[in-house]
Amino acid sequence: APMTLPTFADACPRTGGPTLATPGPTVNAGSDRLAIAGTLVTLTATANDPLGVALTNFQWTQIAGPTVALTTGGTPSAPSAQFIAPQGPVLLTFEVSVTNANGLSGTGQVSVSISPDIVQIVNATYDNRRNRGVLKVIATSSLPAKTKGLQLSIQATNPMRPRGAPS
């Protein structure tokens, strides 16, 4: 009798064979950062799919810290969120999840350390030459020099008006 050689299809298992995992989106939620209590914080992530599958949806979730009101925007490849930093010191952590057209998801996390700004008045002088009051204040802050969003409000009152000054 003639000999029959097995075909490639006969040699491969029909069921129960190995399954290869399909990768989902890669998500980078950005670098951890420092923010000042009371300032607007913007989180910006980036996402892509290693196989080029279209990104279709994203969602930001706060996973640690006192709850803040998140406003989200952007696109699935560049999701963003904003919130007003609460009183500190406190650490907030957020997670962004991005889903592709095949229903696979990837996530990324970012933490924001909220610091109260401690301002110390170093020196304050008032110069009233020519009835033009000039208040000069030198202050230091507990925050790093590169911190954005710093504002210093000073209210000066002088109960003694110079003679002849309008009331």
Query: Regarding beta strands 33-36 and 105-115, do their DSSP bridges make them parallel or antiparallel, or are they unpaired?
Result: parallel
Q: Does 162 score more than 60 pLDDT?
A: no
Q: Residue 106's pLDDT is what? A: 97
- 35 phi and psi, to 5 degrees? -140, 160
Q: Residue 136's pLDDT is what? A: 76
Of residues 113 and 147, which shows the higher confidence score? 113
Highest mean pLDDT among 9-13, 33-37, 151-155: 33-37
Distance CA 121, CA 138 (A): 6
Binning pLDDT at 50, 70 and 90, where does residue 28 land? very high
Q: Residue 80's pLDDT is what? A: 97
Binning pLDDT at 50, 70 and 90, where does residue 151 land? low
Distance CA 80, CA 73 (A): 5
Q: Residue 141's pLDDT is what? A: 67
For the CA atoms of 66, 69, 72, 77, the dihedral, rounded to the nearest 10 degrees, stands at 0
Query: Residues near 96 by Cβ (< 8 Å), separated by ≥ 6?
Result: 27, 29, 43, 45, 47, 58, 59, 60, 61, 79, 81, 107, 108, 109, 110
Tokens of 33: 């950062």
